[in-house]
A and B are shown apart, each in its own frame.
Chain A
Amino acid sequence: MTEKYDQVSIKVSEGGYNVISVAEWQKIDILKRIELMKEGKVTFLFEGKIATLGD
């Protein structure tokens, strides 16, 4: 099982989001990334759609 994603959307404020590349996502501190995911602020995207899990 793998995850495919080419962009990541991160919630910044109520109604405000940024879309960043995978490279930018991986530059974010690991603990911060975990925190963002646990808070449900991260959406992975693949080819312009919300990424699916698995392939």
Chain B
Amino acid sequence: MESKTFLVLTSVILALGMSSTALAQEFNATNHLWVLISFCLIFSMQAGFAMLESGSVPESNVYVVAFKNLIDWTLVSIAYFFIGFGIQFGLTSSGLFGSSFLLLNGLGYGTHAVGGWTYFMFQLAFAGTAATIVSGAIAGRTGFFAYYVFSILMGALIYPVFGHWAWGNGILSQGTLLTSMGYIDFAGSSVVHMTGGVASLVGAILIGPRLGRFGIDGKPRDPPSYPTSGALVVLGTLVLWFGWFGFNGGSTLVAGDFAGRVIFNTNLAASAASVAAFLHAKHLQGKRYIGNKIIGGTITGLVAITANSHMVAPIGALLIGIFAGIIHNIAYELLLKLKIDDAVGAVPVHLFGGMFGIISVALFGDAGIAAEFYKNVPIPLITGGMFAQLQVQIIGVLLNLLWVGVSSFAVYSLIKKFIGLRVSPEEEMAGVTLEGGVTVKKPEFHKMTEEELRSIAEGKAIEKKTMKVTIEETANERLVAWITSYMLMKDAKIEECKRMLIEKGWSRDDVERAAKKGGF
């Protein structure tokens, strides 16, 4: 009876952000142990992501992709400790962000549904997951430092703000933006996965595809993600699946049979999604990228059941899984059609799977199970039916898209302007490194001789094979003048162009020669 009371109270807090000092009296060692074990399970997902992502990229990028999964955890741990947790779970005054518990001041027993330190570690695992989702989508071309900066801001700002809206449940909370409306995201389909998915999509668009990812005809070059190791990809997926039992099961905050129901639903949805993705890809999508779709479909099932695993019947979990697998496959093809290079397929899994999971709360939520879970809390599904809950869920989806889309766009744009989002083309082709620069193997280019450079500058023909040289490597002023003028004349008047070049220090002879050889 006592544990049931606790279950109800913690459920209320988790789902609706309501608070009660009575909770402080309800702690017990078993529940703490369960939550701490769940934290460890979720932490193992970092290893899963590292395996999945590093197995999905070319061999030249395995090392750095694996490292990014280590680094983002360390950075988010620090950023979340400094301000992230406070923004997410601190006292809210406007419903938009919390402002207490900065540096965890004031955190302790009785401040949250379980003891404060246990709760912090459990929530940190979610923040780390959101951040690490991004690393796979933008793998293979993103600079290490740029990723550092993004991870810090993800842990300190982007993730916690939406987390506050949906889960902000500091003990003195007056109700945050979404919790006060009855928004339900049980374990993070939107808070964690949509957030990671939207940030991945924005990043993939702004950073651009890996060099050569799409041919001149716009078609993706096979194989789509140049997988290094299929075995590593499958093992990573299984480790993620294992960790998900803590991700969803631990979100009950109570060691009891409700956690068992949640874990059962989680496993069933993932299994159904895996089979559905396989059959859909095989029979309706011409067997294209079938391995990627089985893997992605499976994880999409896990993502989709995350929001609702506490309030759906087994048949609901099964249907959610089936639809999730199909949605994944359609989204996967859509991204390819749009020429968006998501190196490990994070967007179909986390963004589309997350959105579907949130909507599924209303579509597949069982009012009877929800009533058992929420007791006397008036959630829209119970008081107003499916459409009432659906309205709130859609608002939550839109707010996530808006906040994470705008904030991550702003962060990426600042990085683009002041740091640069990518590595050099040479490094990208040779493989991104921790140290920066090309240290593995530099692509071979013909190094022009002085004589050849002079020949080009004077307009003499030379053999085509000798032309393979970068402009940087041919830092010859006369040649650059020729190239520059030739290009600039395409969108500037010749006389204006000549005058500017001369003003910039080029000799009149060089400019005249360049103009002549450029055919103007």
- A45 with B456: in contact, given A40-B472, A52-B468 (CB under 8 Å)? no
Q: How far is the CA of A38 from the CA of B475 in the complex (A)?
A: 8
Residues of B within 8 A of A18 (CB): 416, 420-422
Q: How far is the CA of A3 from the CA of B441 in the complex (A)?
A: 26
Is the Cβ of B504 less than 8 Å from the Cβ of A15? no
- Enumerate A18-55 residues with CB–CB distance to B below 8 Å: 18-19, 26, 30-31, 33-35, 37-38, 40, 42-45, 47-55
Is the Cβ of A15 less than 8 Å from the Cβ of B486? no
- A9 with B419: in contact, given A34-B484, A48-B213 (CB under 8 Å)? no
Residues of A within 8 A of B475 (CB): 40
Residues of A within 8 A of B429 (CB): 49-50
Is the Cβ of A48 less than 8 Å from the Cβ of B421? no
Q: How far is the CA of A35 from the CA of B491 in the complex (A)?
A: 17
Interface flags, B205-246, vs A, CB<8A=1, else 0: 000101111011000000000000000000000000000000
A31 to chain B, nearest CB (A): 6
Is the Cβ of B143 less than 8 Å from the Cβ of A15? yes
A17 to chain B, nearest CB (A): 5
A16 contacts which of B146, B443, B504, B517 (Cβ < 8 Å)?
A: B146
- Enumerate B428-466 residues with CB–CB distance to A below 8 Å: 429, 436-437, 443, 445, 456, 461, 464
Residues of A within 8 A of B464 (CB): 54-55
A49 contacts which of B145, B212, B417, B471 (Cβ < 8 Å)?
A: B212
Q: How far is the CA of A26 from the CA of B437 in the complex (A)?
A: 27
Residues of A within 8 A of B141 (CB): 19
Is the Cβ of B504 less than 8 Å from the Cβ of A50? no
- A16 with B500: in contact, given A42-B471, A43-B472 (CB under 8 Å)? no
Q: How far is the CA of A52 from the CA of B463 in the complex (A)?
A: 12
Q: How far is the CA of A19 from the CA of B210 in the complex (A)?
A: 10
Is the Cβ of A12 less than 8 Å from the Cβ of B471? no
A12 contacts which of B418, B470, B497 (Cβ < 8 Å)?
A: B418
Q: Which residue of A lies closest to B480 (CB)?
A: A37
Residues of B within 8 A of A45 (CB): 211, 425
Q: How far is the CA of A52 from the CA of B492 in the complex (A)?
A: 24
- A43 with B470: in contact, given A15-B436, A18-B420 (CB under 8 Å)? yes
Residues of B within 8 A of A33 (CB): 484, 487-488
A41 to chain B, nearest CB (A): 8
Residues of A within 8 A of B437 (CB): 15
- Enumerate B268-289 residues with CB–CB distance to A below 8 Å: none
Q: How far is the CA of A47 from the CA of B219 in the complex (A)?
A: 12
Is the Cβ of A16 less than 8 Å from the Cβ of B426? no
**A residues contacting the other copy or chain, number (CB 8 A):** 37
Residues of A within 8 A of B443 (CB): 50
Residue B64 interfacial (CB < 8 Å): no
B485 to chain A, nearest CB (A): 9
Residues of A within 8 A of B492 (CB): 30
Is the Cβ of B500 less than 8 Å from the Cβ of A11? no
Residues of B within 8 A of A1 (CB): 456, 461, 517
Residues of B within 8 A of A54 (CB): 464, 467
Is the Cβ of A3 less than 8 Å from the Cβ of B486? yes
Residues of A within 8 A of B143 (CB): 15-17
Residues of B within 8 A of A10 (CB): 420
Q: Which residue of B lies closest to A20 (CB)?
A: B208
Interface flags, B364-377, vs A, CB<8A=1, else 0: 00000000000000
B420 to chain A, nearest CB (A): 3
B223 to chain A, nearest CB (A): 15
Is the Cβ of B483 less than 8 Å from the Cβ of A3? yes
Residues of B within 8 A of A43 (CB): 424-426, 470-472
Residue B410 interfacial (CB < 8 Å): no
B428 to chain A, nearest CB (A): 9
Q: How far is the CA of A40 from the CA of B213 in the complex (A)?
A: 26
Is the Cβ of B422 less than 8 Å from the Cβ of A52? no
Residues of B within 8 A of A30 (CB): 488, 491-492, 497, 500
A15 to chain B, nearest CB (A): 4
B2 to chain A, nearest CB (A): 57
- A11 with B422: in contact, given A3-B487, A34-B501, A48-B213 (CB under 8 Å)? no
B212 contacts which of A12, A17, A44, A48 (Cβ < 8 Å)?
A: A48
**A15-B424, A31-B504, A42-B471 known, 20 other contacts, Cβ within 8 Å:** A9-B422, A10-B420, A11-B424, A12-B418, A13-B418, A14-B436, A15-B423, A16-B143, A16-B422, A18-B422, A30-B497, A34-B484, A40-B472, A43-B424, A43-B425, A43-B426, A50-B425, A52-B469, A54-B464, A54-B467
B-side residues, CB < 8 A to A, are 141, 143-146, 208, 210-213, 215-216, 416-426, 429, 436-437, 443, 445, 456, 461, 464, 467-472, 474-475, 477, 480, 483-484, 486-488, 490-492, 497, 500-501, 504, 517
What are 11 A-B pairs at a CB distance below 8 A? A7-B208, A10-B420, A12-B417, A18-B416, A35-B504, A40-B472, A42-B471, A44-B471, A45-B211, A45-B425, A51-B471
The 10 closest A-B pairs by CB, nearest first: A48-B212, A16-B420, A12-B420, A54-B467, A15-B436, A48-B211, A16-B419, A53-B467, A17-B422, A40-B472
